[in-house]
Amino acid sequence: MEVKITTENFENYKNGDLPLVVDLWATWCGPCKMVAPIISELAADYDGKIVVGKCDVEENDELAAQFGVRTIPTILFFKNGEVVDKFVGATNKATLDAKFQALL
């Protein structure tokens, strides 16, 4: 299951009990649309182990700026409230799955 990440709820998810993966995207972004189904599959695969969130950079530009996001999609990986990994651009499921595994 994916959650909607906003500037208002981000800190709660970031500091939660589970690792957090945040997909920063926008509706007009072609590569974001390519990655979206992969993120959804991984969210289902890791349900209960990792929280997976989607953050629309158009609606939450402060959050994107906070992490220096200049290109989307950018996927941030948080553990214990800290960014431990980052991926920029479109990729395949195997690459992202390895990054999800590293969070556990």
This model's pTM is above 0.85: yes
Question: Which pair of structure tokens corresponds to residue 72?
Answer: 């989307």
CATH number of 2-103: 3.40.30.10
pLDDT score of 32: 98
Residue 93: band (very low, low, confident or very high) from pLDDT cuts 50, 70, 90: very high
State the average pLDDT over residues 86-96.
97
Sheet of strand 74-79, all strands in order from the earlier edge strand to the far edge: 2-4, 51-56, 20-25, 74-79, 82-88
Q: Which residues are catalytic?
A: 29, 32
Long-range contacts of 77-80 (CB under 8 A, 24+ apart): 77/19, 77/20, 77/21, 77/102, 77/103, 78/14, 78/19, 78/20, 78/21, 78/22, 79/19, 79/20, 79/103
Query: For the chain, what are the domain ranges?
Result: 2-103
